[in-house]
Structure 1
Amino acid sequence: MRMRTIIWTSVALFIAGPAMADEEPRFCPTRPSIGGSSCTTEPGQVHVEYSFLDWQRDDQADQRNDRIVTADLLTRVGIGKNTELQLGWTGFGHDRTRDKTSGAIDTVNGTGDVTFAVRQHLAGEEGKPFSTGIQAFVTAPTGRNPVGAGTWTTGVIIPVQYDLTEKVAVSFTGEADAAANESGDGRHLAYSGIAGLRYKLTDNISTFAELSLERDDDPEKHETFALAAISTAWRPIKTLQFDVSAVAGLNRASPDIRLVTGGAVLF
């Protein structure tokens, strides 16, 4: 009887082995979406997201501003079944502002701020259409203004997603921040909503279309920003992603254009 049990157990393990080996890892980069995500990294795994190049131009009536960011890193570590810790850091930023009247140019180079975050997946399972979560973050002013914010900031992000089909999903991300004042001293309320549509072209290629509306109540100037974004992500293997995105301003207050290239990898 004991020998029969051992034999049947061995057969079961042999049959289950290939299925376990073929099980895909939980690899869910937030990028290239400009919204949030409720998906967390599995316990014991490390997930890194990065930007090769992030360029933004803001052309206003009196000045033109160009900002280039590179080595923008986000490390995500799973610490529980539905919980992860995040550490983000901007390695280098170049900010160039040209006054259109005088022609004077002001240039600032330096590192950016460090962001600490906790993401908790609240609802949604594999095969279920609905998912949501919450993410809280705080940013330490380690960088030089204007590459960095200049003071401590904090906020909360709540993403919601619903899969209409295997290929199509809709999402909404709400965010409320105690954002840094433009002066670099003190904080104010900023809040935003991002609506998105994701479509899987193939098993390895996905595209995203998003609209964002943000209200910023800075004491010096209250503004509303409206943006449209389109992006594409390609996964040559199950644990590696390359992506590109373009963001366009839809009103006068918003930056004119932003182009980003980067990717993600799961260890």
Structure 2
Amino acid sequence: MAAILPTAAAARDYCPTRPSLGQSACTIDTGRVAIETALSDWERDSDADTVLFGDTLFRLGVADRVELQVEWTPAGVVRDRMTGDRTARSGDVELGARIALRNPDGMGLSYGLRPSVSVPAGRSPIGMGGWGAALVAPMSYDLTDKLNLQFSPEIATMPREDRGGNMTVATATLGLGIMLGDKCQLAVEGQWSHDDMATEHRAGLAVGWQLSDDLFVDAGGVAGLDHDTPALRIYSGLSRRF
């Protein structure tokens, strides 16, 4: 999500990654740290419910246009809707970087790259059970002072759940950020993803509130638009810069 309120004390405004489905090219200042974590995250599929606990992204500014990122889900529970059985696991660790190629503050026309590697630290069904890698090329453009167009194409290689080896996954997320006030922004998004097992379509709606220059809270929901996509996801979280 793009930054909302100008900050006099910082070289650039804080731009949380949450709660959008897509990515941003906006980076944080050198030496600054941000922690962005989920307070709740529940998803319903055709045969299971999944709850994630504490899914957290750690961001560290290491240069004017570069930040390092570490993301980890410490715990998750999958409940089989037919049998009622529950499986608790931790998730994989994702190591990445965000590189702003134009306008690291996210203003005007902004674009960049976000490469990452997934380390199999967790176990299925929360973790993927193998190594993976991804590259996102996020871009955004201010249509007006209240409307921001966002596009995030992604290509990834991920482990297959039902058999060995990896598969290629292509994802594209298109979103519109709408300013509802000085401290509130709405994100309306559509997402398409395809691999050798399924093609999925999603629609998302999320809102973020700025409580201070360095603190945001958010809530959102995602609806699946076809039978291959999880039917519903509801989540909330907070983002804090230090």
TM tier, smaller: over 0.9
Q: Deviations over 1:10-59 (max 9, x none)?
A: xxxxxxxxxx9555643111110000110111100001100011000012
Match of 2:151 among 149, 172, 178: 172
Counterparts of 1:36 and 1:213, CA distance in 2? 14
Q: Is the 8 A contact 1:25 1:238 kept in 2?
A: no
One of 21, 25, 41 as aligned partner of 1:34: 21
Q: Distance in 2 between matches of 1:21 and 1:213?
A: 38
Change (3 A) 1:184 1:150: farther
With a CA cutoff of 8 Å and minimum separation of 6, indicate the structure with the bigger relative contact order: 2
* 2:30 is aligned with 1:55: no
Deviation at 1:202, TM superposition (A): 1.1
**Is the Cα contact below 8 Å between 1:243 and 1:262 reproduced in 2?**
yes
Partner of 1:209: 188
Q: In the alignment, what sits opposite 1:235?
A: 210
Alignment correspondent of 2:62: 79
Q: Which amino acid aligns with 1:44?
A: G
Q: TM-score, normalised by structure 2?
A: 0.93
Alignment of 1:102-181 (within 5 A): 104-124=83-103, 129-181=108-160
The corresponding residue for 1:185 is 164
For residue 88 of structure 1, the aligned residue among 57, 61, 71 is 71
Identity %: 33
Aligned-residue offset at 1:183: 2.4
**1:93 counterpart letter in structure 2:** G
Uncovered stretches (5+) of structure 1, i.e. residues with no partner: 1-19
Whole-angstrom distance in 1 between the partners of 2:209 and 2:72: 24
Which residue matches 2:3? Answer: none
Q: Distance in 1 between matches of 2:185 and 2:128?
A: 32
Uncovered stretches (5+) of structure 2, i.e. residues with no partner: 1-6
Give the conservation status (yes or no) of the 8 Å contact 2:65–2:104.
Answer: no
Measured in 1, the distance between the counterparts of 2:195 and 2:107 equals 35
CA contact (8 A) 1:200 1:207 kept: yes
Q: Counterpart of 1:68?
A: 51
Report the structure, 1 or 2, having the larger helix content.
1
Structure-2 separation of matches of 1:127 and 1:74: 19
TM-score when normalising by structure 1: 0.85
Contact 2:151–2:175 (CA<8 Å) still a contact in 1?
yes
Counterpart for residue 3 of structure 1: none
Task: Work out the number of aligned pairs and report it.
Answer: 236
> Aligned-pair RMSD on alpha carbons?
1.6
**C-alpha contact 1:24 1:238 (8 A) present in aligned 2:** no
Whichever residue aligns with residue 14 of structure 2, its letter is: F
1:146 corresponds to which letter in structure 2? P
Partner amino acid, structure 2, of 1:159: P
Q: 1:195 corresponds to which residue?
A: 174
CA–CA separation in structure 1 for the residues paired with 2:35 and 2:71: 10
Determine helix, strand or coil for the equivalent of 1:178.
strand
Mark the structure with the bigger radius of gyration: 1
- Name the aligned partner's letter for residue 180 of structure 2: L
Contact 2:13 2:105 survives alignment (8 Å): no
Contact 1:150 1:185 in 2 (8 A): no
**Deviations 1:150-174 (CA, angstroms, capped at 9, x unpaired):** 1111110011101011110111110
